[in-house]
């Protein structure tokens, strides 16, 4: 029993996770340079560990400091924040491609499938707009686009789904949650990935935001359990940001209609198609 406990919480997990949390806390309190030094040290440590030690946990964890370093180092080319998202997130497709190419995870583990996408799409819409409204209540954000033209609305939606949603859900659910569940069990693995997801939002400098995003991570994690589909999670996450940066501040009266309509569509499909989510082996969480 003690050997299993030590194996679960050994240094290859504790050290990099602790360094990630420490660096993000330094960002939270305004010590950006010190945070970047720790993230760079952690990334180097993880790369060296991946070279000489077996275990895909290193590849999953190195995505977090890498993303933070890219996020901070990326120069500002546009005055409009919206156009910066693809520049910040696009470089992350290179390590993601490498992880997929090297077959560190199976397609099933990563959720690289469109199976059930249209069935779960209404659920993703309801979850996304609900979580976005909740985060809006925490942050009180403004609208991210200069006007409500079709072009700008599409640009915002596609950026949030294809870049922000896809990259972050691959990092935190497909890769990180998968390895954490394998190490800690289903429940603890989901919670660990969700807490790290929350800490990676330290740039807002709001304790409530860290807590809320951690809880949102739990919701996304459960949705990943149910669907095992990265595309579904990318849509849910992307629409969370669409709700946060567009619908909640500009058209709050539309939210209840969108959430109720999509929720009812999903209930209708689930009732009449009789489809049930795949089971979860909670015994692994013990």
What is the DSSP-derived secondary structure letter of residue 145? Answer: S
Cβ–Cβ < 8 Å for 124, 223: yes
Please give the structure tokens belonging to residue 74: 């990326």
Q: Note the pTM of the prediction, 2 decimals.
A: 0.92
Alpha helices in 159-251 (DSSP H): 166-169, 178-184, 186-199, 207-227, 230-242, 248-250
Cβ–Cβ < 8 Å for 164, 180: no
Domain ranges for the chain, please list them: 2-285
pLDDT at 273: 76
Per-residue pLDDT of the chain (286 residues; tens, 9 = 90+): 444 554 566 878 999 999 999 999 999 999 999 999 999 999 999 999 998 888 899 999 999 999 999 988 876 554 556 778 888 899 999 999 999 999 999 999 999 999 999 999 999 999 999 999 999 999 999 999 989 999 999 999 999 999 999 999 999 999 999 999 999 999 999 999 999 999 999 999 999 999 999 999 999 999 999 999 999 999 999 999 999 999 999 999 999 999 999 999 999 988 887 665 554 443 343 3
Cβ–Cβ < 8 Å for 78, 48: no
Angle among Cα 189, 195, 200 to the nearest 5 degrees reads 125
Compute CA 73 distance to the chain's CA centroid, rounded to the nearest angstrom: 20
Cβ–Cβ < 8 Å for 246, 143: yes
pLDDT at 65: 97
Please give the structure tokens belonging to residue 33: 């340079």
pLDDT at 280: 45
């Amino acid at each position: 029993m003690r050997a299993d406990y030590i194996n679960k919480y050994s240094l290859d997990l504790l050290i990099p996770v602790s360094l990630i949390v420490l660096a993000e806390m330094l960002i939270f309190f305004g010590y950006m340079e010190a945070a970047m030094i720790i993230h760079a040290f952690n990334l180097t440590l993880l790369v060296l560990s991946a070279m000489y030690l077996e275990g895909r946990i290193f590849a999953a964890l190195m995505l977090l400091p890498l993303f933070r370093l890219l996020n901070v180092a990326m120069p500002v080319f546009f005055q409009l924040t919206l156009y910066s998202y693809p520049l910040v997130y696009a470089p992350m497709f290179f390590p993601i491609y490498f992880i997929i190419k090297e077959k560190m995870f199976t397609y099933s583990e990563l959720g690289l499938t469109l199976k059930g996408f249209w069935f779960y799409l209404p659920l993703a819409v309801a979850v996304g707009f609900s979580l976005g409204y909740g985060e809006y209540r925490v942050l009180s954000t403004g609208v991210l686009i200069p006007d409500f033209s079709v072009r700008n609305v599409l640009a915002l939606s596609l950026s949030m789904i294809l870049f922000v949603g896809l990259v972050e859900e691959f990092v935190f659910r497909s890769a990180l949650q998968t390895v954490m569940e394998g190490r800690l069990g289903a429940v603890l693995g989901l919670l660990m990935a969700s807490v790290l997801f929350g800490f990676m939002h330290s740039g807002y400098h709001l304790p409530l935001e860290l807590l809320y995003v951690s809880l949102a991570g739990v919701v996304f994690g459960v949705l990943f359990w149910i669907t095992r589909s990265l595309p579904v999670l990318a849509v849910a996450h992307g629409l969370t940001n669409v709700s946060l940066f567009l619908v909640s501040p500009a058209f709050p009266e539309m939210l209840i209609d969108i959430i109720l309509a999509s929720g009812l569509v999903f209930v209708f499909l689930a009732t009449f198609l009789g489809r049930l989510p795949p089971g979860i082996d909670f015994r692994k969480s013990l």
